[in-house]
Structure 1
Amino acid sequence: MSLEGPGSGDGKRQLLLFKVTDAAGRAKNLDELFRSVHEYLNELMKNISICIILYDAKKESLNLVYPANVNEKSSFSPWWRTLASYLIKEGKPLIATTELISRFAHEKAEALPAVLLGTPLRVKDKVMGVMCLFNYHDASTYSDEDLEMLKFVADQIAIAIERKQMEDALRESKEKYLSLMNDAIGSLSSGIIILDDHFRVVWVNHAIEEFFGIERDAIIGMDKRRLIKEKIKYIFEEPEKFERVVLSTYDNNTYIEQFECHVLPGVNRRERFLEHWSTPIRTGVFAGGRIEHYHDITARKRIEQRLAAQEKNLSLVFDNLLDGILIVDYDGRILKYNSVLAAMFEVEPEEMIGRNILELVAPESRDAVREILKDVRAGRGGHPGTYRVINRSGREFWVEWLGTDMIYEGRHVNLVSIRDITRRRYMEKELKEASEFLENVIDNIPDTITIKDSKHRLVMVNKAYCEITGLKKEEVIGKTVYRDKDEEVFQTKRVVNIPERTYTDRAGKRHYVSVKKAPLVNEAGEITHVLTISHDITGLKEAEKELEAKNKELEQFTYTVSHDLRAPLLTIQGFIHLLREDLKRNEQDKVDKELKYIEDAAKKMEKLLNDTLQLSRIGRVMNPPEEVPFGEIINEALEQTRQQIESSGVKITVADDFPVVHVDRMRIVEVLVNLITNSIKYMGDQPHPEIFIGYRKDDDEVVFFVRDNGIGIDRSQHEKVFELFYKLDSNTNGTGAGLAIVKKIIEVHGGRVWIESELGQGCTVCFTLPVAG
């Protein structure tokens, strides 16, 4: 609507409606009324034209009574007739642009309006014609508010047309006039009371009966002053005011009166709001009297009440929001702000109205505020922005600004929402630090930890999980990994323990893990996630296997020791019995021989016990490991076995460039002494005995070996020779503990030992040791 000046819309419309109502009462004829209405509308809306077309239902004809172009009625072209017929047929108002108007023009029109506002002239259900406003220049001229205003003007014009028609008829004859009142006025939606020059009631219509809850036959002929004082005034909310205002018009019947009144509910009447409009009757049968109109404005008042309530509620909401709200114009002047913002910036509730928004903050924060307003006006204010501001008292705090463009009191302004997020930022910082600390703790737990949501999507994994899978956190977060046991937790709401599960890592190593799955619940007790912790028990499993092997070995050791120690004991026991008998018979030669057997058996038992003790100490009594060239260890072993080598005539060959090993030097010398001694012992009848000490590389592993060309070992004996006190040839010297001791020393160093041999083709004893570097 083309209104100008702040807050002018409602006031100018009210003035217009008052003037139209006044003109409808005072105009001598319809043409004068139409010109006055045209003049008043032009005061309110610029560059408009008006036309009024009356419709004769009996003749089904249209008559242009006030031209759209005041110069000539010849401008009334056929398309106007088509449009008027359409409005009369539809019975409702219309805003039409050139595009719609052109549809009514069957022939090419020289010039069509840019926009048209049209409404039927209606009195109750009777359409009397059409009233149209139009503009040839601006298609955005009219709004829905203008349409509502035009409907009111049209109603007044329709009433005036009807009233003028009635006055014309009354002038012709009183009977015809009364007949017209019965036929027309009685059916009007507005209540009408006609008073004669003594202010007696000469006519009321049915609407008055409905509005006041009284029968019209009971009040026709009564003095209206008395009727108001005794009866009518009491149906209104403000009876004394109603009496005073209406009786004043009787005392001075020269002016038009208009006011609103509130009818209270009662017998035969319901609550409603009425607009009283009355004017003197200057001509006709009842000249000197007065005509009173009561227009039902209940619907309008209900809307106004709702709007007032909404405005009150909005004000309450505005002042009780948690955020500070600020309305500023495009020049940065503050138009309105709420109490939250006042407290935030430490200003009084009305102190900053009309002042610039920059005065709210310290100078160092003003550039930030300018950027905020710039973003809002550029249409970028829909997303929150975070800024550090300092208010006028020097308090520094963080705020989140969200702005938008809006219309306030008829002009474009900026609405800015400001939230103090200082505490939130501190909490976010603390939460971030706590989260990072917790993540750091979880990442340093060797167990793998994962958390999945109800859709089995990974929402958290720790460092151990990434190291095992070889994936980065960002590569797995959000991925769906379904496990039956996860679903079991969601369904049963219980912890699920999986004592043992296996998997193979990227290096191909098999791992054993124990798994625990636990539900994570929210404040409502609903399961939202499943926590899975997998603890690697591979070391435990290996320890169990090692313990099992040790127990087996101990069992075998115990059996072997008890068996091999029993033999010399039995020998001693047997010869002691013979010794007693020979001593009785004083047979000295036999006594000496039997004592020799007992001595040999005791020495053998001592040797078995010493070897057993030595084997048990391996792994418990060790020297600190050191890095030593393996060639030096070979030299020490050859030095310790030099006498045996020389007496046996064995040729010793040693390879070159041995690596450096990280070992218990004395124990590895003991290994080589045992292996060299065994090779010499089992040479057999070899005419050219040889021993070769060397090493080789099998893939990435260094294998040391002692090779001879003796009798060899059958494949079936390759494992048994490492058992305690096992001997290939029972007639050889020694207890058979040598290779068992070798095996134990090598395994304590983390290595392994094995036989490569065929019977009659020599023997190679291979073993591995930790190589330095």
Structure 2
Amino acid sequence: MKTIEEYRLDNERLQAEVERLRRRLSRKNTADFSEITQIYRQLVNYLSDYIYTVRVDNGRAVETIHGPGCIAVTGYSSEDYARDPELWYRMVYDSDREAVTLQSSQALRGYDVQALEHRIVHRDGNIRWVRNTIVLLRNEESELYAYNGLINDITAQKESERELLESEEKYRSLTNDVLESSRVGISILDADLKIVWVNQAYMKYLGVEREQVIGKDAHLLVEAHLAALFEDSGEFSRRVLKTYADQSAVERFECSIRNFEGLIERRLEYWSMPIYSGLYTGGRIEHYTDITEQKRILDEVIESERRYSQLLHHLTDYIYSVKVKNGQPIHTYHGQGSLAVTGYTQEDFAINPDLWIEMVHPDDQDNVREYSRLALLGKTVTPFEHRIMHRKGALRWVKSTIVHQKDETGEVMSYDGLISDITELKEAEERERLNQQQLLQAEKMATLGILVSGVAHEINNPNNFIMLNYKMIDKVWHAILPILDRYYNENGDFVLAGMPYSSAREKILDLISGIGKGSQRIQKIVSSLKDYARQDTGILESQINLNDVVETAVLIVNNLIKKTTDTFTLDLQKSLPVVRGNFQKLEQVLINLISNACQALKIAPKAIAIRTVYDKEADKVCLTVTDSGEGMDDQALKHIIDPFYTTRRESGGTGLGLSIAYAIVKDHGGELLFRSQLQAGTTATLLLPAITLNAEVIK
């Protein structure tokens, strides 16, 4: 923005040009008049701001001079204002006149006044926004003899601000609509554990109205109303209140609501976690997920699997019989199905009578012997599961069911055993357990994404004000700088903000510049966080420069890097072929690799290096993340990408990060390799195929 002095010089130059045109007009004929008038109008139209000067005598305005630019801003010329001294006041929008009058009266009384934004009615009838900045002029006796005013047309800026506010309002409305219509019951508690918000699903599941719970103490609500709804009210109350007592705790459990007839009406999954940032820091967010249908389907699946298993058992099970005399086995018969289950024939068991126990897994042999002892004594033995080693060396799970045959006196004559191969069932249960843990982790990450996006939005709002105020401060400083410099040249050094003006001048410039740069950095970080938290389509068809992925990932985890190491280097090849894939998923991989590298830095030197390079011979883009951390032994390296394998479980590691990263890289047709040595650090290498050798290079 121009300073007042610059506007004054512009005004003088414009007046000189006008005088030159008038002299030319006196020498030219009437035909030239139209041309000169056109030139003058063009000069005036280029001005979007203008200066006016008010001469003051004893606190009263005695003369007001409006610069030529007034016609562009207000539609009125200097002559219009000269003819109608009250025009400047009447063109002010009705509801803004009081503020304008106050600013003018304070200026006439010699008070320094803040710039004022207000509306005016343009000559064409449109409403415009202007900013009126007043600079007081004093004589050598410090008496006010005039003041200059700078009128800036800020209509476009105000329109942009209005559009921004409307956009933010639409975003808030959309967020509220999404949460309000969610099928998950949600309640938000503040730091005092008072309920501040619930959605429709919460009210539906728990049978309450919003006005009944908002502002209520969550402890009292649980004890007085909610606990009574559930099948095990004591357990529900105990577990929920436990999280209130330890607000850092995360709790998750299933609970059931019974109706008046005592039947289960709805099954819910309760999940609660602390809120670490934002408006309700120190509070909690609670979820009630309706899993009734999910449980019904699961029960049907279990029943279906049970029937299927029964049918399968008829094909893979086998029966053995043990004859008993005086509590001792005297003969054992193994059915033909033994070959399918164990790999051993009837003849093998006949040749080696101890084979039945030798094939049992060593860790299970004591339990199997105990069950056999009880069976020989005639005790009721429930079906039991154990492991055996198949003849081919494979580990298998079997279930043994024993039925006694007794005489009239109750003595055991024999017992029959049914051996069922349940290996596939055990593997399915293990897969289900792993899938369930992965699902829980995914839900946590999804909720964390919502919170991150909300936090980023909350940060963005005040940062916008910082950005706007920084620009205004910068303009004001540059506007008053010539005045301060002139005062310094005329009167010598003086104190400003506790420092000599000669020293403070450049420092203040640096401070203002630092505010702008810092705000821009906040804006960039917030934008990256919102992009990272945003749910994407998962399509792997974008052309991606891996350097861009590195820079975005480093920005997101920059705080972790700074806290972990002082030796962080980036070596990114400038001309790097693009790869085909999904930017957000590759960013997730790199964030995981960098985080692991930071967590591995336990001993000096604590260094991390990231490098990208194009392997022309293999036609692959290569990215490496190298740390000088504690490294891994061969055993850990062998299992590093196994789901849920982690060496940092006590510090919160889930063992899913590298497993997920490995799957993402495989989906991209790439490789994820690791090289490590104890006390010598680890290098993770990501290899992705370039689109073509001659592909367009993104610089």
On whether the aligned pair clears a TM of 0.5, the verdict is no
TM-score normalised by length of structure 2:
0.24
TM-score normalised by length of structure 1:
0.22
